[in-house]
Amino acid sequence: MEKFTVRQMIPNTAPESYRLKIWFDVTTPKELLFFESIMERISINHDVLFTTGSSPMVAELCSIRNLCPTQVGEFGGTDRSQRLTIQVDRAAALSSLAQKFKPDVVISSCSIEASRVSFGLGIPHMGFSNTPYNESICRRSIPLITKLFTPSYIQVTEFTRYGITADNIVQYSALDEYLIVHNRPTPLWSAKSLNLQPNKKTIVLNIHNNSIIDIINEFPQYNIVVLTQDANHIKTLQSYDN
C-alpha cells in the first residue's frame, strides 16, 4: 500500500516526451466536480478524452460549467434487464472510441463500463473511490482496475474484500468532499426564487422515493427544500401544491 499527497499524484508540468493520452469517464455530477480541476490541470500537458453518459444531471452541470464532453451511451433503465443492456451497449461504444483514441491510461471513479473496457483492451485504469459501501459499483469495477486511489482515512480492508490487493491501493492525504465543494457551481437559485419564507427555518432533504410528500405534511412550520435526480420525483413534487 502506497501513500501520496495530491500534489505528488498530479504533476504540474511534464516534458513533451511524456505527453500522454488520458481518458476520463465521468458518470455523476459528484464525479464531474471532483475531476474538473484535475482534467483542467492535466490537459495543459496531455491529451484528454472526457466522456460521460446521457445523465440529464451531468449534462446540465456540464452546460453550467461550459464543459463539452463526448457523450457516449444511454442512461437509466426501468429494470435489471434494461439496465444491463444499456451498460453493455455503452461499454461497446466506449470500446470503439477507446480503440480510436488509444489512451495510455483511463481515470474514473470506478466507472463500470470504463473498467470493463480498460481491462479488456489492456489499458491501465486508475480508479478513485471513497464509497466502499457501494457494493453494486465496487464488485463490478474494483477487481478490474489497475490502481485504486482512496483517501487515507478509509481502511484498506474496506476495498481488498472486493478482490484488489493492498499493494494496488494508493492512499492520499485529502478529502474528496473538499475538492467537490471547492468546485461547486455558481448557485442557480436564491431564497427568493425558491419562495422560501424568511420567518421559517429551512429543512433540506435528499430523497429516493415519493414518500417525501408525507414528510412535508408533517412540517408545515418549515421551508422544505427537496433534492432529487429522478425526473419522476420532480414531476410528482411539482404537482404538489401545498
In tens, the pLDDT along 185-207 reads 566 667 777 788 889 998 887 76
The domain total for the chain is 2
Cell numbers standing for residue 72? 457516449
**CB burial class (10 A; 0-12, 13-18, 19+) of residue 109?**
buried
Boundary-marking domain end, from 160, 182, 204:
182
Query: Average pLDDT, stretch 152-161?
Result: 97
Query: Average pLDDT, stretch 70-89?
Result: 89
Tell me the CB-side half-sphere exposure of residue 48, using CA atoms within 13 A.
22
Q: What is the pLDDT of residue 209?
A: 60
Q: What is the pLDDT of residue 241?
A: 58
In 3D space, the residue among 54, 6, 41, 25 whose CA is nearest the CA of residue 126 turns out to be 25
Q: Whole-angstrom Cα distance, residue 117 to residue 127?
A: 13
CB 25, CB 110: distance < 8 Å: no
Same domain, 117 and 196: no
Q: What is the pTM of this model?
A: 0.75
Same domain, 199 and 237: yes
Same domain, 140 and 224: no
**Residue 77's pLDDT band (boundaries 50, 70, 90)?**
confident
Q: What is the pLDDT of residue 197?
A: 87
Cell numbers standing for residue 93? 461504444
The residue with greater pLDDT, 94 or 185, is 94
Same domain, 8 and 101: yes
What pLDDT digit, counting tens, does each position of 107-151 carry?
A: 999 999 999 999 999 999 999 999 999 999 999 999 999 999 999
Is a pLDDT exceeding 80 seen at residue 69? yes
Q: What is the pLDDT of residue 68?
A: 92
Computed on alpha carbons and rounded to an integer, the radius of gyration of the chain in Å comes to 20
Cell numbers standing for residue 122? 489492456
Domain that holds residue 231: 189-242
Which residues make Cβ contacts (< 8 Å) with residue 13, sequence separation at least 6?
A: 44, 45
Q: Whole-angstrom Cα distance, residue 11 to residue 2?
A: 17
Same domain, 225 and 172: no
Same domain, 17 and 74: yes
Name the 3-class secondary structure at 135.
Answer: helix
In 3D space, the residue among 136, 139, 98, 142 whose CA is nearest the CA of residue 117 turns out to be 98
